[in-house]
Amino acid sequence: MNMLSLQHFPIYSIMVLFLGAFLIVVFGRSKVVRHSVALLATCASMLFMMGLIKPVMLGGEIISYWMGARVPAGGYAIGIALEVDALSLFFGLLVSTVVFVACIYSIQYMSHDDNVPQYYTLFLMLAGGVMGMVLTGDLFNMFIMVEILTFAAVALTAFRNTVTGALEAAFKYLVVGSIGSTCILAGTIVLYAQMHTLNLGQLAALIPGNLTTSTKLAFALLFIGFCTKAFLVPFHPLAADAHGAAPASISVLISGVLTKSGIYGIIRLTYFLFQSMGLGTMQFWLVFLGSVSMFVCVTMALAQHDFKRLLAFHSISQIGYVLAAVGLSTALGISAGVYHAMNHTIFKGLLFLAAGAVLHETGTTDLGKLGGLSKKMPVTTVMFLVGAAAISGIPPFNGFASKWMIYQASYQKAVESNNIGFLAVTICALVTSTLTLASFVKVTQSVFFGQLPKEYENVKEVPFGMRLAMGILAALCIVTGLVPNYVTRFLTEPAAKAVYHVGAYINSAMGAGYAESVMQTVPVAAEPSFVQHGVWSPVSWLCLLMIALLALTVVATSAKYDKVSLGEATDTKYQLFYGGEKNFYSQVGSDDLFWGFKHNWRHYFSFMHELHSGVVNDYALWAVVALALATLYALVVL
Amino acid sequence: MILFNYIASFFLIVLGLYCIVVKYNLVKTVIGLSILDYGVNLLIITIGFNPGGTAPIFTQGEITPASYFVDPIPQALTLTSIVIGACVTAMSLALVIKLEEQYGTIDTREIRRLRG
**A365: distance to nearest CA of chain B, Å?**
14
Q: Which residues pair with A64 in a beta bridge?
A: A83
d(CA A121, CA A126): 9
Residues in chain B with CB shorter than 8 Å from the CB of A122 are none
Local confidence band at A534 (pLDDT 50, 70, 90 cut-offs): low
CB-based contact A343:A402 (threshold 8 Å): yes
Residue A245 scores a pLDDT above 90: no
Overall average pLDDT of the A231-252 stretch: 89
> Distances from the Cα of A626 to the Cαs of A225, A258, A314, B31, in angstroms?
10, 20, 22, 22
Residues in chain B with CB shorter than 8 Å from the CB of A171 are 26, 92, 95-96, 99, 111
CB-based contact A179:A134 (threshold 8 Å): no
Residue A75 scores a pLDDT above 70: yes
CB-based contact A325:A406 (threshold 8 Å): yes
Domain boundaries defined on chain B: 2-53+71-103
Using the Cβ of B28 and the Cβ atoms of chain A, whether some distance falls under 8 Å is answered with no
Assign 3-class secondary structure to A75-139.
CECCCCEEEECHHHHHHHHHHHHHHHHHHHHHHHHCCCCCCHHHHHHHHHHHHHHHHHHHHECEH
- Quote the pLDDT of residue A181: 94
Tens of pLDDT, residue by residue over A45-72, are 999 999 999 989 888 889 999 988 888 8
User: If 0-12 CB within 10 Å is exposed, 13-18 middle and 19+ buried, where does residue A286 land?
Assistant: buried
Q: CATH number of the domain at B2-53+71-103, out of 3.40.980.10, 1.20.120.50, 1.10.287.3510, 3.10.310.40?
A: 1.10.287.3510
* Angle at CA of residue A535, ends A530 and A539, nearest 5°: 95
Helix axes A166-195, B72-103, angle to 10 degrees: 170
Q: Average model confidence (pLDDT) for chain A? A: 87
> Distances from the Cα of A224 to the Cαs of A606, A608, B16, B86, in angstroms?
28, 22, 17, 23
Buried b (16+ CB within 10 A) or exposed e, A134-158: bbbbbbbbbbbbbbbbbbbbbbbbb
Local confidence band at A145 (pLDDT 50, 70, 90 cut-offs): very high
Which of A158, A165, A192 is facing B47, going by the closest CB pair? A192
Residue A44 scores a pLDDT above 80: yes
Using the Cβ of B12 and the Cβ atoms of chain A, whether some distance falls under 8 Å is answered with no
Across A336-345, A574-583, A600-609, least confident range:
A574-583
Using the Cβ of A175 and the Cβ atoms of chain B, whether some distance falls under 8 Å is answered with yes
Chain A, residues 536-565, CB within 8 A of chain B, namely none
CB-based contact A134:A92 (threshold 8 Å): yes
d(CA B99, CA A624): 25
* Angle at CA of residue A236, ends A446 and A138, nearest 5°: 130
Q: Which residues pair with A66 in a beta bridge?
A: A81
> Distances from the Cα of A260 to the Cαs of A98, A283, A419, A582, B88, in angstroms?
12, 19, 29, 49, 23
Residue A233 scores a pLDDT above 80: yes
Overall average pLDDT of the A454-475 stretch: 90
* Angle at CA of residue A181, ends A177 and A186, nearest 5°: 145
Overall average pLDDT of the A289-299 stretch: 93
The H or E element spanning position A401 is: helix A398-417
Closest CA to A234 of A612, A632, A511: A612
- Quote the pLDDT of residue A169: 93
d(CA A122, CA A247): 13
Across A39-43, A314-318, A427-431, A586-590, least confident range:
A586-590
d(CA A380, CA A10): 35
Helices (H), A444-492: 464-482, 484-487
CB-based contact B43:B16 (threshold 8 Å): no
> Distances from the Cα of A448 to the Cαs of A384, A468, A587, B6, B34, in angstroms?
9, 20, 12, 59, 47
Using the Cβ of B106 and the Cβ atoms of chain A, whether some distance falls under 8 Å is answered with no
- Quote the pLDDT of residue B99: 93
Overall average pLDDT of the A484-492 stretch: 87
Overall average pLDDT of the B40-55 stretch: 90
CB-based contact A205:A515 (threshold 8 Å): yes
Closest CA to A219 of A274, A282, A142, A277: A274
Which of B17, B92, B112 is facing A174, going by the closest CB pair? B92
- Quote the pLDDT of residue A577: 53
d(CA A353, CA A359): 10
d(CA A509, CA A515): 10
**B92: distance to nearest CA of chain A, Å?**
7
Q: Which residue of chain A is at minimal alpha-carbon distance from B9?
A: A186
- Quote the pLDDT of residue A564: 52
d(CA A223, CA A184): 8
Using the Cβ of B15 and the Cβ atoms of chain A, whether some distance falls under 8 Å is answered with no
Tens of pLDDT, residue by residue over A3-27, are 678 889 999 999 999 999 999 999 9
Largest CA distance in chain A: 84
Residues in chain B with CB shorter than 8 Å from the CB of A608 are 116
Start-to-end Cα distance in chain B = 49
CB-based contact A320:A294 (threshold 8 Å): yes
> Distances from the Cα of A178 to the Cαs of A154, B41, B86, in angstroms?
10, 14, 12
* Angle at CA of residue A589, ends A164 and A567, nearest 5°: 135
CB-based contact A439:A302 (threshold 8 Å): yes
**Three-state DSSP class for residue A64:** strand
With an 8 Å Cβ cutoff, are B29 and A616 in contact? yes
Closest CA to A590 of A238, A298, A310: A310
d(CA A298, CA A275): 31
Local confidence band at A102 (pLDDT 50, 70, 90 cut-offs): very high
Residue A480 scores a pLDDT above 70: yes
**A620: distance to nearest CA of chain B, Å?**
6
Using the Cβ of B22 and the Cβ atoms of chain A, whether some distance falls under 8 Å is answered with yes
- Quote the pLDDT of residue A14: 95
**Three-state DSSP class for residue A512:** coil
Residue A576 scores a pLDDT above 60: no
- Quote the pLDDT of residue A13: 94
d(CA A521, CA A503): 10
* Interface test mutation site (partner B, options A185, A310, A598, max chain B beta carbons within 10 A): A185
Using the Cβ of A179 and the Cβ atoms of chain B, whether some distance falls under 8 Å is answered with yes
**A308: distance to nearest CA of chain B, Å?**
12
Cβ-Cβ pairs closer than 8 A, A with B, add up to 108
d(CA A432, CA A325): 14
Tens of pLDDT, residue by residue over A404-452, are 889 888 888 888 888 888 888 888 998 999 999 999 998 998 888 888 8
Q: Which residues pair with A73 in a beta bridge?
A: A76
CA A1, chain centre distance (Å): 38
* Angle at CA of residue B105, ends B104 and B107, nearest 5°: 160
**Three-state DSSP class for residue B98:** helix
With an 8 Å Cβ cutoff, are A147 and B92 in contact? no
DSSP per-residue letters across A257-326: IIHHHHHHHHHIIIIIIS--TTSHHHHHHHHHHHHHHHHHHHHHHHT--BHHHHHHHHHHHHHHHHHHHH
Q: Average model confidence (pLDDT) for chain B? A: 91
Tens of pLDDT, residue by residue over A582-638, are 555 566 677 777 777 888 888 999 999 889 988 999 999 999 999 999 999 999 887
ipTM above 0.90 for this complex: yes
Which of A451-455's residues contact partners 24+ apart within 8 Å by CB, and which partners?
Answer: A451/A371, A451/A372, A451/A585, A451/A586, A451/A587, A452/A371, A452/A372, A452/A373, A452/A375, A452/A376, A453/A369, A453/A370, A453/A371, A453/A372
Closest CA to B32 of A170, A154, A617: A617
Q: Which residues pair with A138 in a beta bridge?
A: A199
* Interface test mutation site (partner A, options B3, B10, B21, max chain A beta carbons within 10 A): B21
Q: Which residue of chain B is at minimal alpha-carbon distance from A145?
A: B84
Using the Cβ of A625 and the Cβ atoms of chain B, whether some distance falls under 8 Å is answered with no
> Distances from the Cα of A39 to the Cαs of A96, A194, A251, A256, A357, in angstroms?
12, 44, 19, 19, 20
Which of B22, B33, B112 is facing A613, going by the closest CB pair? B112
Local confidence band at B104 (pLDDT 50, 70, 90 cut-offs): very high
**Three-state DSSP class for residue A552:** helix
* Interface test mutation site (partner B, options A156, A157, A228, A616, max chain B beta carbons within 10 A): A616
Residue A386 scores a pLDDT above 70: yes
Q: Which residue of chain B is at minimal alpha-carbon distance from A616?
A: B108
- Quote the pLDDT of residue A228: 94
